[in-house]
């Protein structure tokens, strides 16, 4: 039976996907797509909550994936049967992957020329015998990125992600036909960035790869993800005119594959206070954990926004919020409040739809938060809850 509750009664721990906020993001993306001709895809690595794919399908062209599982999910829930596209890129594919991807993908993007050589015969023979074969592309490393955090920078020295121009030229000198069957170029060099870095990156791409883009066999240009397109202050007009310019100049379809921008500010992680201890500072132990339920807090690292809270010491009651695991560093951050916290107090972490559910884990045997969807009328519908079996089944 469908379970519906008001937001303030959803049992914790819980992720709540904010459907009206997803629609707001969707409308901004659809506007960019309609006025630029770009195809916008959800990068599922950020957000794979397929319960809301039917809603997202109203705004975007489909999904992209980092491998077979995500590609299959995208296909099953928002793929060709729904008139939508499924794209996939991975640093490496096995031949088993390829056999399963060829029938469900519209674009398959290879990370190296060696990978392309391994898979191209299979790809060509699939294309010969099937009317609806994927289009194939290569990921390039333009050796230009403005990302400052190395672990998120695909152009960092020694990066495995993407082909260098000089390596392509060397390969072409040995084998002129190496690009036969390739119809698109892929670049992914952004992370949480505005239009400025994108326009500067496009300049580099045109300088280094303009000759390839000019070739008639190249039908598409995929500019990856990391674009904060749905943020209030993103220069969407700049993006629209740049996409229009690129499409016309090179006669290509432009693809954008944001993850974060689709689901930004579109969900809560709700936790409750289990205990309060003191050791130089008051520490609230919660039923939500940085390590298990919002690992980017430790990886990035960052202090997640929390509803009705303030900076430490700004208000009379300051607490360190921490998880119920044995990891000493499972600390979410220091926050202050107008009123003291108590055992049972509920805390609403915001912007918790992206890079959370896709990354959570049961380290320390922590329960997985249930997943709810918040609708326009303020009611939440339970999509999924988890228990002991979900912990045991993976071990
Ligand atoms: C991570 C990633 C994305 C999505 O990035 P966001 O920062 O979530 O927008 C898109 N494409 C590729 C290839 C990626 O690795």
Q: What is the pLDDT of residues 151-170, one digit of tens each?
A: 999 999 999 999 999 999 99
Mean pLDDT of 189-197: 98
Same domain as 240, residue 206: yes
- CA 271/CA 11 separation, integer angstroms: 9
- CA 384/CA 368 separation, integer angstroms: 10
pLDDT value of residue 373: 98
Ligand 1 atom with the smallest distance to the CA of 191 is: 7
- Residue 7 falls inside a structural domain: no
Question: Phi-psi region for residue 394, left (φ > 0), alpha (ψ -120 to 50) or beta?
Answer: alpha
pLDDT for 248-272, tens place per residue? 999 999 999 999 999 999 999 999 9
List Cβ neighbours of 273 (8 Å cut-off, separation of 6 or more).
Answer: 284, 285, 286, 341, 342, 343, 344, 345, 347
Q: How confident is the model at residue 2 (pLDDT cuts 50, 70, 90)?
A: confident
- Residue 138 falls inside a structural domain: yes
Mean pLDDT of 184-189: 98
For residue 348, how far is its CA from the centre of ligand 1 (angstroms)? 26
Mean pLDDT of 186-214: 98
pLDDT value of residue 254: 99
Mean pLDDT of 273-302: 97
Q: How many domains does the chain have?
A: 2
Q: What's the predicted TM-score (pTM) here?
A: 0.97
**Mean pLDDT over the full length of the chain:** 97
Same domain as 365, residue 280: yes
Mean pLDDT of 135-140: 98
Same domain as 233, residue 160: yes
Ligand 1 atom with the smallest distance to the CA of 154 is: 15
> Considering only CA atoms, which residue is closest to atom 3 of ligand 1?
225
Same domain as 157, residue 175: yes
Same domain as 192, residue 151: yes
**CATH code of the domain covering residue 205:** 3.20.20.10
Pocket test for ligand 1, best of 257, 358, 359 (most atoms within 8 A of CB): 257
Q: How confident is the model at residue 355 (pLDDT cuts 50, 70, 90)?
A: very high
pLDDT value of residue 1: 66
pLDDT value of residue 361: 97
């Amino acid at each position: 039976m469908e379970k519906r509750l008001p937001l303030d009664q959803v049992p914790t721990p819980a992720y709540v996907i904010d459907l009206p906020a997803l629609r707001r993001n969707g409308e901004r993306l659809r506007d960019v797509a309609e006025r630029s001709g770009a195809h916008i895809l959800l990068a599922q690595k950020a957000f794979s909550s397929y319960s809301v794919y039917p809603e997202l399908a109203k705004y975007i062209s489909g999904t992209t994936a980092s491998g077979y599982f995500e590609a299959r999910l995208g296909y099953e829930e928002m793929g060709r049967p729904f008139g939508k596209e499924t794209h996939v890129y991975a640093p490496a594919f096995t031949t088993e992957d390829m056999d399963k991807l060829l029938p469900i993908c519209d674009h398959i993007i290879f990370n190296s020329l060696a990978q392309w050589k391994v898979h191209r015969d299979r790809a060509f023979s699939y294309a010969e015998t099937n009317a609806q074969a994927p289009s194939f592309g290569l990921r390039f490393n333009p050796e230009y990125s403005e990302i400052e955090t190395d672990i998120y920078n695909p152009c960092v020295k020694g990066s495995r992600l993407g082909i260098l121009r000089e390596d392509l030229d060397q390969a072409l000198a040995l084998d002129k036909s190496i690009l036969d069957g390739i119809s698109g170029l892929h670049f992914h060099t952004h992370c949480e960035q505005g239009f400025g870095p994108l326009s500067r990156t496009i300049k580099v791409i045109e300088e280094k790869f303009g000759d390839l883009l000019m070739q008639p066999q190249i039908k598409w240009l995929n500019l990856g993800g990391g674009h904060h397109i749905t943020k209030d202050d993103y220069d969407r007009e700049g993006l629209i005119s740049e996409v229009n310019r690129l499409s016309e100049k090179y006669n290509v379809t432009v693809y954008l594959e944001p993850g974060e921008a689709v689901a930004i500010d579109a969900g809560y992680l709700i936790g409750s206070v289990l205990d309060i201890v003191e050791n130089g500072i008051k520490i609230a132990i919660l039923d939500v954990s940085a390590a298990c339920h919002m690992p980017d807090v430790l990886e990035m690292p960052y202090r997640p926004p929390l509803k009705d809270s303030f900076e430490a010491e700004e208000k009379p009651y300051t607490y360190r919020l921490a998880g119920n695991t044995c990891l000493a560093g499972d600390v979410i951050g220091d926050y202050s409040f107008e009123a003291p916290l108590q055992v049972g107090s509920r805390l609403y972490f915001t912007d918790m739809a992206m890079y959370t559910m896709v990354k959570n884990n049961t380290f320390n045997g922590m329960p997985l938060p249930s997943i709810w969807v918040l609708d326009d009328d303020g009611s939440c519908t339970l999509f999924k809850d988890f228990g002991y079996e979900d912990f045991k089944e993976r071990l």
